[in-house]
Amino acid sequence: MLIYLFSIFIATYMASIPHVKEEQWTFALQFYLDQNGLPHLDKASINEVYYEEVPVKATTTATPTPTTTTEGENTATTEAKPEEKKTEKVKKERSTLCIVKMIECLFGLPQAILDNVTSKEANQENEDRLLTLAINKRNEIENFIYSTRSKFDGELGAYVTSEEKEVLLALMQKVEDWFYSGDEEVYNKTILEAKTKDVSELGSKIYKRYHDWNKLSESLEKLERVVNLNIKKLEETTTQTSYLTQADRDEIAQIIVQYNNLLNEGKTSYAKFPKFGDAPAKFEDVDKASEEFVKVSRIN
């Protein structure tokens, strides 16, 4: 197809090649490949080599002419006479860029229409990008619905109220019915996000609750390990040589008691409060307490 179009182009364009004075010329085309490996015309030019008649620089010769001196005697003087004008051929080169003319010859379209086609192509690319985003968002929501349904009677069961479960199941079913209704707006990202907003918000709330409780459990376990380790180290200092004085051991013991009380309070709250409510403490605060305890305990 490309060769066929190129042949048509050459046949069309040859008729409009500028006049050259000699038959020594080249027609140069330059293409570039796009990301899909398709060639596109970039530049075109006609490169001429021709000879032009230019005059040869004239020279003069001296011929004697009679003159008269002040004493009346004839003497010879000279008068310049130009030679016959001559010309010679000089080699010259010229390159004419004709990319715009070539495009119009090839496609038969003025520049304004070509610009419009380019604009439409850019708009189409943007629409394709938005469609891809909408499809990805729909897949994300479908995966969320499928995964959440299977977890309600399992790992999510303790972190959701019966009312939340009922509402979310109804919302998910409504969204799922819309997905398979044949409505083309399911591929409009703005409308898709608007119609699934309630599902996303309630689902995010439940999963955040699940995450916060589980992270709090991990942080309390970490703090317990740190406290127990330091209790063991402090006990070892009483049975072997240590750089710690008794005052140091008493101070460290008080620190251990302080953080151990904090640990027990956290464990009590964790066990007492229902998991379908907010976690009783932030896991970030418990992690921070573990780091501070390590710094102040001073036991190597």
Would you say 94 and 87 are in contact if contact means Cβ atoms under 8 Å apart?
no
Domains held by the chain: number: 3
**Residue whose C-alpha is closest to residue 287's, from 222, 194, 204, 200:** 222
Amino acid making up residue 17: I
293 part of a folded domain: yes
Last residue within a domain, chosen from 86, 108, 130 = 108
Residue that has been written with the tokens 């008691």 in this structure: 257
Give the pLDDT score at 70: 47
96 part of a folded domain: yes
72 shares a domain with 95: yes
227 shares a domain with 262: yes
* 3-state secondary structure labels for all residues of 216-285: HHHHHHHHHHHHHHHHHHHHHHCCCCCCCCHHHHHHHHHHHHHHHHHHHHHHHHHHHCCCCCCCCCCHHH
Give the pLDDT score at 238: 75
Pairing of strands 39-55, 60-68: unpaired
Give the pLDDT score at 12: 44
Instruction: Compute the distance between CA of residue 33 and CA of residue 70 in angstroms, rounded to an integer.
Output: 89
204 part of a folded domain: no
206 part of a folded domain: no
Instruction: Compute the distance between CA of residue 220 and CA of residue 228 in angstroms, rounded to an integer.
Output: 12
12 shares a domain with 82: yes
Amino acid making up residue 123: N
64 part of a folded domain: yes
Domain range for 32 is 2-108
207 part of a folded domain: no
Would you say 151 and 172 are in contact if contact means Cβ atoms under 8 Å apart?
no
Last residue within a domain, chosen from 195, 227, 256 = 195
Mean pLDDT by 10 residues, the chain (300 residues): 46 46 69 70 75 69 51 50 69 70 52 69 78 90 93 92 94 94 90 93 95 95 92 79 78 89 92 92 92 74
